[in-house]
Amino acid sequence: MLRRSGFTLVELLVVIAIMAVLAGILFPVFIGIRKKAWQAACASNLRQIGGALQMYEQDYDETTPNQVYDRSLAVNGLGQTHYQGRPVYAGWSGTPAHQLDPYLKVSRVWICPAKRLGGDDPSLTGALSYVFNYLGVFSDDSTDTVVNGVRVGGGRALASIQSPAHTVAVADGGAAISAPTRTESGVCGWWLDSWWRQNSFPNVAADGGSNCRFQTQRGKHGETANVLFADGHVESLRPSRLLWGENFLGQDGDGPDSPVASPEMDGEEAR
């Protein structure tokens, strides 16, 4: 009588052990590959946003999109957004992202695959993944006007940005909004501005806390952040490499009204 060939229990256990070891080795590799792909896709998003920004500037006399904020919440007269970081008083239509949207093929470029908060639609039903350089690029207080009680600031002339290749325009941002008091419709952290952080003004909390206004850029891709500069090029770098005067104001010097405590950012997430 012929005996059926098969695996013994020991052989099966050996095979399972080998598969487990291989999985333990390969799984982190696959995770790393996926994160690198997310980082590349995020950089591609910013390049498309940069292209849209340049087309907008060509159409509007070499001027950046304007910003909207509520002057009643002003700190040192500079103004800031709603406490959740979204300009609800003027709506999505009053933001730089909305003004650039017609120049983009798809709105999904506002969502970084490494930090998806909410749905694909960036019109305040899902959080945006990027924040704007408020003082250095998207604000010009000299052209402020009031519309329906809301302070509307004009865009900045490109000629006033002394060093576009070193001035941050848009960068990784968007806070985690998993705190119980937040929903996925909240855009937590709208403006990118290290000066507020260094001068101890309220800034966005890392998990959607009550001080949810301005924030520094975040190292969402490992320890690096993708950054779009005012001249249109994109870099992936450590947040600590960005200097206040050079990279945020586009010129040498300190922030308005008060000198910064340190010209170099610490690179930590906003807390």
Residue pair 196/187 in contact (Cβ under 8 Å)? The answer is no
Q: What is the 3-state secondary structure (H, E, C) of 196-234?
A: HHHCCCCECCCCCCCCCCEECCCCCECCEEEEEECCCCE
Is 268 a residue whose pLDDT tops 60? no
Q: Which residue has the higher pLDDT, 8 or 19?
A: 19
Point out which residues pair with 237 in neighbouring strands: 225
Query: What mean pLDDT, rounded, does the chain reach?
Result: 61
Query: From CA 212, how far away is CA 183, in angstroms rounded?
Result: 13
Q: Which residue has the higher pLDDT, 189 or 111?
A: 111
228-262 per-position pLDDT tens digit: 888 899 988 876 666 544 444 443 333 333 222 22
Query: Residues near 229 by Cβ (< 8 Å), separated by ≥ 6?
Result: 164, 165, 166, 167, 168, 169, 235
Which among 229, 41, 203 has a CA at the least distance from the CA of 129? 41
Q: What is the pTM of this model?
A: 0.62
Backbone angles phi, psi at 87, to 5 degrees: -80, 70
Residue with tokens 């799984």: 27
Q: How many CA atoms lie within 13 A of 37 on its CB side?
A: 6
Q: Which of 14-18, 37-41, 262-266 is predicted most confidently? A: 37-41
